[in-house]
Amino acid sequence: MTMAERFSAAEQGWRGVGLALLTGIGIGLGQVPFALPVLALPALLLAVALFQRSATPRTAFRRGWVIGAGYALIVMFWIVEPFLIDFARHGWMAPFALGFMAAGFGVFWGAAFWAARCLVPVEGRGALVLALAWAAVEMLRSYALTGFPWALVGYIWTETPILQLSAYAGPHGLTLLTLVFAAGLVIAWASRQRVAAVAGMGAVGLGLFSAGYKLQTAPVPGSAETRPIIRLIQPNADQRQKWDPAMAPVFYQRQLSLTAEATALPPDLVVWPEVAVPFLINDPDAPLREIAGATDATVILGAQRLEGDRAYNSIAVLDRAGDVTALYDKSHLVPFGEYLPLTGIMARFGLSALAAQYGLGYTPGDSAQMLDLGGLGTALPLICYESIFPHEVRSAERPDWLLLVTNDGWFGTFSGPYQHFAQARARSVELGLPMVRVANTGISAMIDARGRVTGSLPLGVSGRLDAALPPALPPTPYARAGDLPVLLLLAASLAIVSIRRIRLTRS
């Protein structure tokens, strides 16, 4: 039996479902913590090949759906972790959460495969159209229904120099480039001049890698010796103990001690993570003067606050007297984690948001706003989930640097925190801005404007990191134009293919 015959046999029945599932998992292995694009790229080629061999739109949808579900099973596995924090109350939801997430995610990829086969109804053709449709649905899921641009296909390159290309193309441009390259390799392999065609695609890939490497190794202008020093505080408060009345004071005192540690070069700013304190920031008895008294620097911390019956997940800036000089309330909340869609219906079943400490969940604040920190410049505050939305981070007024406080203790220790960290680095690359990332359990890090980590505290340790704030780069092409060029390119290309398809149908 030839290889082609074996491949054809493997596509049939349940073996075909298994092959598609493994293909999706293979693509997922490109994402951190695996970071194996050397496996993800061949899996993408196999996905394109499976589409090419789909005779009908229905078959194409089924294969795309299974591939997408397999991808989601591995890259979204962390979704079960929040339900295991309070296992007795929420543990039963974990398998349903992962199952529904995988099934829903698969619909997007299935729709791309279906649309591509409708536009090119000829078996063995349509690879480039699939790349266009696939990139389009990746953009769609980033915006639709509040958006969820987690683990975009282009992020398989986050641990390689190719990530630097997102400064020009953005995350969706990088995804499109990846999918077009995979489709091109499949087409090259099927061509009569196979060797020359594959060699040509390899040369293109090498050129892109070289361009990324040149950007990644280029210095950022500015001297670290003259930059402000920022102290990152990581208390490592286990989420199962974070609100325990016996342990909450321990974590608070740990942060206070880390803040007060003396060094030869004192910090200009101290940053605590998301919801770092066990009290409300607007409680008259909140020990804010104690926090401010632990250092001569300005302190920024994550905390909760109440305004009437509304709860907010906030960032507060404390001056040296312990007064709150600026507040930011998280505006893009996590569905089911921080608020419940259809709150009235959910409340009848006794359900509340997983992270809710007050009522059924948080209230969204105003859209992103700047924190003016005087000599430290302006910072764009981001709280956890908000950092995964490249278009929202970019759409704000350009700051001097990005400030991200988060509590990744909800996401376990396997994949979630690493994926979240990789996407934070991608924001710096896309916009040419440094980022201060402070996490409760890690990874806390100082990230420069090319996404390089200049200092970090690993996952699962408590400690402090004093690091110089890197300078910003000039606005990148993506910072200037955003997703519009890629959106127009996809819309125009798919429109041309659609018009051509309509004309062929009528002729």
Q: Which domains does the chain have, with CATH numbers?
A: 3-218+483-506 (no CATH), 224-331+366-472 (3.60.110.10)
Q: Tens of pLDDT along 449-485?
A: 999 999 999 999 999 999 999 999 999 999 999 999 9
- Rama region for 340: left / alpha / beta (φ>0; ψ in -120 to 50; rest): beta
CA distances from residue 351 to 304, 336, 343, 344, 361 in whole angstroms, order as listed: 21, 9, 9, 10, 10
Give the amino acid at 169: A
pLDDT of residue 7: 55
**Is the confidence at residue 347, as pLDDT, over 80?**
no
pLDDT band at residue 94 under the 50/70/90 scheme: confident
The answer to which of 201-215, 327-341, 409-423 has the lowest mean pLDDT is 327-341
**Is the confidence at residue 9, as pLDDT, over 80?**
no
pLDDT of residue 309: 86
Span 143-172, average pLDDT: 96
pLDDT of residue 155: 98
Confirm if 445 and 455 have CB atoms less than 8 A apart.
yes
Confirm if 500 and 494 have CB atoms less than 8 A apart.
no
Which one-letter DSSP state was computed for residue 15? H
Closest CA to 385 of 411, 360, 366: 411
Average pLDDT, the chain: 91
| Distance between CA atoms of residues 131 and 242, nearest Å | 45
pLDDT of residue 1: 54
Span 212-238, average pLDDT: 89
| Distance between CA atoms of residues 132 and 179, nearest Å | 8
Q: Tokens representing 465?
A: 């990191």
Q: What percent of the chain has pLDDT over 70?
A: 93
Catalytic residues: 274, 330, 384
**pTM for this predicted structure:** 0.92
Which one-letter DSSP state was computed for residue 221? S
Count of CB atoms situated within 10 Å of the CB of 29: 18
**Is the confidence at residue 350, as pLDDT, over 70?**
no
Span 403-423, average pLDDT: 95
**Is the confidence at residue 342, as pLDDT, over 80?**
no
